[in-house]
Amino acid sequence: MSDPTVPTTWRHFIGGSWVEPATGEYFDSTDPATRRTLYRAARGTAPDVERAVAAARDAFEDPRWRDLSQTRRGHLLRRLGELIAENADELALMESRDNGKLLREMRGQLATLPEYYHYYAGLADKIHGETIPASDRRVLNYTTREPLGVVGAITPWNSPLTLTTSKLAPALCAGNTVVIKPSEYTSATGLRLAELALEAGFPPGAVNVVTGFGAEAGQALADHPGLAKISFTGSTATGSRIAASAASRFIGTTLELGGKSPQIVFDDANVPNAAMGVVAGVFAAAGQTCIAGSRVLAHRAVYDELLERVCERAKSIRVGDPLDEATELGPLAFEAQRDKVAGYVDLGRAEGARVLTGGAATDGGLGGWFYEPTVLVDVDHGMRVVREEIFGPVVAIMPFDTEEEALRLANDTEYGLAAGVWTTGLARAHRVAARLDAGTVWVNTYRAMSPMSPRQGFKNSGVGVEHGTETIKEFTRLKSVWINTGEEPVADPFTMRS
Ligand code: NDP
């Protein structure tokens, strides 16, 4: 990846080797800032997925993995974290070129990414069951937490390394093996991650990657009968299809889906900080984050000041080359995403919204798929721009008068991923956090994340927990073992024992 004008070819990574796609076909991956072809990736289809799931199954049953002590599993995760740190510059550059995320944001993500592996490294030998006090003292009843088997991880393009890690690190920590299907727009870093896992000492087949399109490789993986679980991050529509497929086979899912997260700015807020929080919530990563704070509710007493501050900062955002340290807003990740964002702003105008700043596509001076940071006002909850996920640098700002009204509007959404609250009132902070229908609530901050802190989408934003110790339950199954230590003959065989 040293010269962006020279395409490289990536094959699938299956069973620890680079594997040609069954069809022999490849597709181009494009730098969204320049529209130059970056590399070609293998176009995966059902036979490739078949091969990857078989490799993952073989690895799962291989004594080198199955019988590895949990402590040693932890060592491997720690080593993988170290290798990521050693290769951080390369990975940051790769992802920045692939999806247009700012290189400095990627460097920041890479600085913390090893911590996810180190966190789960520490957890690996703390996964255990319990002894249950059975009523009959002669009976020993204990539980064990077992790995599930082969986990399918289907990941999106907006933060491939981080969002893949949210699945990969706990899945491996719990003793599973994994088949990853990255987004067709960002195939490279998942492949490199799998290569580093092999280098770290994970056995061949523990981490496999099949690249390709959602409707081909993704669907084939989601529907594969060999999976014990599917962990997915992406749109609510695709998540719903995957959940239905998984349900038909009675396998579990962890789904991290869309959002339309509110940020509430109260009249007792530190308004300059709140304005920066709004900017961070929706313009960072060009708004292409599931947690984008894309609906802002501002108390009428601070509405004008907040608007002025947000617009002022939005107008001064430096749009351009994501590799340039001075750039603040890079491109949208691909053309259709840029068109989707533009379409929503046009729709907002047609619905009666007023564009205070932004509202136009640009090529960022590089020929790429950029969109200006955009502030919409004169909006209400009947409009699609306020109800639907735009996934771009577009924020809708509206006033409210009472705390009760703010809560009603904040919760008036099909989603429940995250929410922001800006207030200096301690009691209000707790009161409002308790009543927000969202899995993550940030007070006087936004877009904070840690491997230690669990996150869960409420309502249509997801199923299950990622991060923290809680997610380990999603990657294990619980077995209850009963051992009769008594020597007495079995009494009445027709009654239930305890
Ligand atoms: P998708 O949900 O379609 O994509 C997410 C992942 O699922 C990708 O790897 C995709 O592959 C794969 N996929 C697509 N269709 C299927 C299928 N039928 N079976 C199995 N896997 C499949 O999101 P999009 O990329 O289309 O983005 C659309 C919208 O979704 C965005 O505009 C945004 O609103 C939302 N989104 C939310 C994300 C979040 O973090 N919550 C992340 C990404 C998108 P491929 O990319 O190759 O099609």
Predicted confidence (pLDDT) per residue in 291-342, tens digit: 999 999 999 999 999 999 999 999 999 999 999 999 999 999 999 999 999 9
Between helix 88-99 and helix 160-173 the angle, nearest 10°, is: 130
DSSP 319: B
Ligand 1: residue whose CA is nearest its atom 38? 234
CATH code, 359:
3.40.309.10
Please indicate, yes or no, whether residues 242 and 106 belong to a single structural domain of this protein.
Answer: yes
- Looking at the chain, the whole-number percentage of residues with pLDDT higher than 70 is 99
**How far, in Å, CA of 118 to CA of 176, rounded?**
17
Please indicate, yes or no, whether residues 377 and 277 belong to a single structural domain of this protein.
Answer: yes
- Backbone phi, then psi, for 429, in 5-degree steps? -55, -50
Please indicate, yes or no, whether residues 214 and 269 belong to a single structural domain of this protein.
Answer: no
190 CA distance to ligand 1 centroid (A)?
16
Please indicate, yes or no, whether residues 271 and 334 belong to a single structural domain of this protein.
Answer: yes
With respect to residue 321, please indicate whether it lies within any of the assigned structural domains: yes
Rg, C-alpha atoms of the chain: 24
Residue 281 confidence (pLDDT): 97
CB atoms within 10 A of CB 96: 22
**How far, in Å, CA of 56 to CA of 117, rounded?**
20
Helix (H) or strand (E) holding 450: none
Is residue 405 classed as helix, strand or coil in its secondary structure?
helix
Strand 150-154 versus strand 229-233 pairing type: parallel
Note the Cα 452 to chain centre separation in Å. 15
**416 near 461, Cβ under 8 Å?**
yes
Ligand 1: residue whose CA is nearest its atom 25? 156
Tens digits of residue pLDDT in 388-441: 999 999 999 999 999 999 999 999 999 999 999 999 999 999 999 999 999 999
Which residue among 158, 164, 235, 254 is best mutated to probe the pocket of ligand 1, counting the most ligand atoms within 8 A of its Cβ?
Answer: 235
**How far, in Å, CA of 146 to CA of 132, rounded?**
17
With respect to residue 337, please indicate whether it lies within any of the assigned structural domains: yes
Concatenated DSSP letters of 274-316? HHHHHHHHHTGGGG-STT---EEEEEHHHHHHHHHHHHHHHHH
CB-neighbour burial class of residue 7 (10 A; exposed 0-12, middle 13-18, buried 19+):
middle
State the pLDDT confidence band at 1, using cuts at 50, 70 and 90.
very low
- Predicted TM-score of the model (pTM): 0.97
Annotated catalytic residue within 95, 184, 216, 290: 290
**Nearest to residue 262, comparing CAs of 274, 270, 272, 252?**
274
**306 near 397, Cβ under 8 Å?**
yes
Note the Cα 14 to chain centre separation in Å. 23
Helix (H) or strand (E) holding 325: none
**How far, in Å, CA of 190 to CA of 20, rounded?**
17
With respect to residue 305, please indicate whether it lies within any of the assigned structural domains: yes
Residue 92 confidence (pLDDT): 98
CATH code, 172:
3.40.605.10
Structure tokens at 410: 């904040």
386 CA distance to ligand 1 centroid (A)?
21
State the pLDDT confidence band at 6, using cuts at 50, 70 and 90.
low
Please indicate, yes or no, whether residues 228 and 302 belong to a single structural domain of this protein.
Answer: no
Q: Supply the range of the domain harboring residue 436.
A: 262-443
User: Does the structure show a pLDDT above 70 at 3?
Assistant: no
Tens digits of residue pLDDT in 140-189: 999 999 999 999 999 999 999 999 999 999 999 999 999 999 999 999 99
**How far, in Å, CA of 162 to CA of 233, rounded?**
11
Residue 290 falls in the annotated catalytic set: yes
144 CA distance to ligand 1 centroid (A)?
35
Structure tokens at 233: 């991050």
Residues lining ligand 1, CB < 6 A?
154-158, 181, 183-185, 213-215, 218-219, 222, 233-235, 238, 241-242, 256-258, 290, 337, 340, 389, 391
Residue 173 falls in the annotated catalytic set: no
237 CA distance to ligand 1 centroid (A)?
8
Residue 493 confidence (pLDDT): 87
Tens digits of residue pLDDT in 354-377: 999 999 999 999 999 999 999 999
User: Does the structure show a pLDDT above 90 at 495?
Assistant: no
390 CA: nearest ligand 1 atom: 34
With respect to residue 493, please indicate whether it lies within any of the assigned structural domains: no
